[in-house]
Chain A
Amino acid sequence: MASIQTGVAAVSATDIIENARRLRRETAADVHEVLVEAIYADAARIADRAVARPGRPARPTLDRTLDRILTSRVWGFPIMLLLFALMFWLTIIGSNVPSGMIADQLVGRLWPVLRELATSLGLPWWLKGLLVDGVYLSTAWVISVMLPPMAIFFPLFTLLEDFGYLPRVAFNLDRAFKQVGAHGKQSMSLMMGFGCNAAGVVATRIIDSPRERLLAILTNNFSLCNGRWPTQILIATIFIGSLVPAQWAGLVSAGAVTAVALLGIGFTLAVSWALSRTVLRGEVSAFSLELPPYRPPRFWQTLYTSLIDRTIFVLWRAIVFAVPAGAVIWLSANLNVGGVSLAQYLMHYADPVGVLLGLNGVILLAYIIAIPANEIVIPTVLMLTVLVTGSQGIGEGAGVMFELDSLDATRSLLEAGGWTLLTAVNLMLFSLLHNPCSTTIYTIYKETGSAKWTAVATLLPLALGFAVTFAVATVWRWAS
């Protein structure tokens, strides 16, 4: 019975569709246009009957004044810069002390307890090493390095987002994006990328034109994501902040991080420009952006939700990746090949390349281990450095990731590993310019559906990273 009915329906549906096609050709007017006009006319009539404006509205003028300032010819860009620098500065000065405190607890107190516990349970040395010195320590490290900056940065960013500032940034920056052949909404996905590149890549769906969407996807990695903030902040604080008197250190480090973030935007624009003049040739398409009204954010609620939603989520992800990475690091440091540990063996080969780039073998190896998640770069770097320098006094033997209770200790360790200001600067650059993390790569593949573009998105930043660090190192050495 049902099948008969569908059979009949299918035939007459075809009739209807045929007829509709014919009528459509015969109708002179654009149906869509006529329809929208009629609907808007009705909407206006209904809204008019329902809405009254008894009082004089006070707000729109306030909104307007604010908008005039935030997008003004003179103040628009300086305010934008200041706001972002302020965010970084608050993050840097605010996360210093809590980071140390967390490390104190997790590493200073809990770790020895766990070691003893493992010993008293009679675990074999390798299991104890793998679990306590590898897995536990790397996790503890990630938490103490990442939690404080994120717990400060995300709420600040969310406050700006809820206030309605992001669309104004897109509005201010659109001209630049247009000139490089990109879509104005690319600046939205760019800002989402500051949170997480995978989210930024998904956010490019608001861009209609396929060409410009691809541009936005390919360049999203130049937005410094949260996994890389800790690296930037730590290195800037240790090596760059220390170049100036203590009272200026916070400001100067914030300035350095802002500069790297801006450089990322610069690369986004430059790469978009280059791509839209070569492989992704074409003209810019239409752009329309609604600027929503400012909405005073609810401070405490924002604080609470961004802490729960973003911070905990990102932290969780970092921990999930830190666990196996910790195990890998420990294993690579303790598996011996002909008397040399695997890690040392690999670093030996990576070192010449690293030095050429103004980095070192440790950093390169760390970036290979950290492909799953950028968050664990710094812990890995420190652990491997201990291995190389053999600073047994600080760590607890080979392949043990450890926490250094003060920045000074970290600094002296790194300097013992041969680090200079050049290494620091180039590490900050390389952290900006390298392949996206595995989640992002997977997201890019899902969104583009193309292995080719995924490969481009992965290798292009890496190639740029090599080129830029090499250039900086060469110039630096030549100049000094």
Chain B
Amino acid sequence: MSLPFIVSLVIIAALLLWPDSGLVARWRQARVRAARVRREDALKHVLKCEVNGELPTLNSVAGALHIRDGAAADLIADMEAHGLISIGEGRIRLRQPGRELALHIVRAHRLWESYLAEQTGVAEAKWHQLAERKEHQLSPEDADALAARLGNPLHDPHGDTIPAAGADLPADTGRPFSTAPLDTPVLIAHIEDEPEAVYRQIQALGLRPGMKACIFAKEDGCIRFWADGREHNLTPILANNLAYVPLVGTTREDLFDEEFLSELHPGERARMLGLSAACRGAERRRLLDLGFVPGTMIEVELVSPSGDPIAYRVRGTVIALRREQARLIRIGNRETIPTEAVAS
């Protein structure tokens, strides 16, 4: 054998077999990681079933993880062997270590979504997908640090509760939106982020948890409702991915007459009613601090050469906002400013 041949052989062997960074080692690590991710996803599924009063089964695990039944059976056996779950009387139950891990995963997922929503410009359609990956990489300490950085949010951008470290997960709130009563304003409490295609459609419509909505017609195959200042249509199947809770103190008329700051014209003023639910986190706090609080009179002061941003006079100061933000501020009592008031 020639020397070059031996050298090549050694190099190839090293590339393959080098501890920790050789291809084989990496492949093995990736497999271990994939197994862990599957385990954690399964635990999360069991936890969600549990809090919502459903029974986790082998089939439901297989369905949630998109794996075959046989693989799911192996997975469940493996989790039982690790002391994460117990199986008795044909029921899958979480054991304490498993519950803790599952809670952490849910917490990490929802925190990461909040982070993406509040502190990055990542498109909304990608939040869930990215969080699905990130939840397995954050340690409990990472999650705590992240929570602190976000000001300990209570809800993620889908309206779901973010469990506190070590606390229990409350059941999902709300009932399917398609069953909401006609002509009665309700609050959208939650938007289910799976399946993704459906979620994407819903978010493209601009619907957010915390929005007020009012169904005014249920035709077959189409639910027509009013939310956030305009009309929306959803098929009942899509609508079932929204959950609502009843809303007291808002009438149908209040909702239909809702207007937003972006609709205010130069020479007009209006009273601010509140911030839309789509305005979250740091952005919401910033607007409040700038004086955009309910009851404040706002008028258009200046329009920039290209029409956006627009500067508003708020409590004696001129503040410029982009159109997307002005869309988040609800106003009422719109009126034209009398000319002598403009002069003074």
Contact = CB atoms under 8 A, between A and B. Distances in A.
Interface stretch (B18-26, B67-75, B175-183, B300-308): B300-308
A20 to B, nearest CB: 10
A105 to B, nearest CB: 48
Interface in B126-169: 152, 154, 164
Contact of A175 (B122, B283, B290, B306): B306
Contact of A184 (B122, B152, B309, B343): B309
A36 B322 contact: no
B3 interface: no
A77 B304 CA distance: 10
A24 B154 contact: yes
A287 B344 contact: no
Contact of B325 (A57, A175, A211, A287): A287
Interface stretch (B28-36, B78-86, B312-320, B330-338): B312-320
Contact of B120 (A36, A210, A291): A210
B319 A283 contact: no
Contacts of A71: 302-305
Contact of B309 (A21, A174, A212, A290): A174
A50 interface: no
Contact of A212 (B121, B122, B295): B121
B282 A171 contact: no
Contacts of A289: 309, 319-320
Nearest to B161: A25
Interface string A196-219: 000000000000111110000000
Interface string A240-276: 0000000000000000000000000000000000000
A286 interface: yes
A209 B119 contact: yes
Contact of A76 (B154, B293, B305): B305
Contacts of A209: 119-121
Contact of A291 (B285, B289, B318): B318
Interface residues of B, number: 43
A178 interface: yes
A57 B344 contact: yes
A98 interface: no
A109 interface: no
A40 B291 contact: yes
Interface residues of A, number: 44
A290 B309 CA distance: 12
A292 B289 CA distance: 17
Contacts of A210: 119-120
Give the most central of A61, A67, A72, A291: most B CB within 10 Å: A291
A49 interface: no
Contact of B285 (A32, A56, A64): A32
A178 B306 CA distance: 12
A126 B289 CA distance: 66
Interface string A277-291: 000011111111111
B273 to A, nearest CB: 12
B234 to A, nearest CB: 25
A452 interface: no
A33 interface: yes
B120 A171 contact: no
B283 A76 contact: no
B313 to A, nearest CB: 10
B322 A178 contact: yes
A121 to B, nearest CB: 64
B305 A283 contact: no
A283 B121 contact: yes
B309 A287 contact: yes
Given A210-B119, A211-B120, A283-B123, A77 B302 contact: no
A286 B319 CA distance: 13
A172 interface: yes
Give the most central of A172, A211, A288, A291: most B CB within 10 Å: A288
A284 B318 CA distance: 22
A37 B311 contact: no
A36 B288 contact: yes
Given A36-B289, A37-B293, A40-B291, A61 B343 contact: yes
A181 B121 CA distance: 9
B200 interface: no
A42 to B, nearest CB: 12
The 5 closest A-B pairs by CB, nearest first: A282-B121, A175-B306, A76-B305, A283-B121, A291-B318
Interface of A: 21, 24-25, 32-33, 36-37, 40, 56-57, 61, 64, 67-68, 71-73, 76-77, 171-172, 174-176, 178, 181, 184, 208-212, 281-292
8 contacts: A37-B294, A71-B304, A72-B305, A174-B304, A174-B322, A184-B320, A286-B283, A290-B318
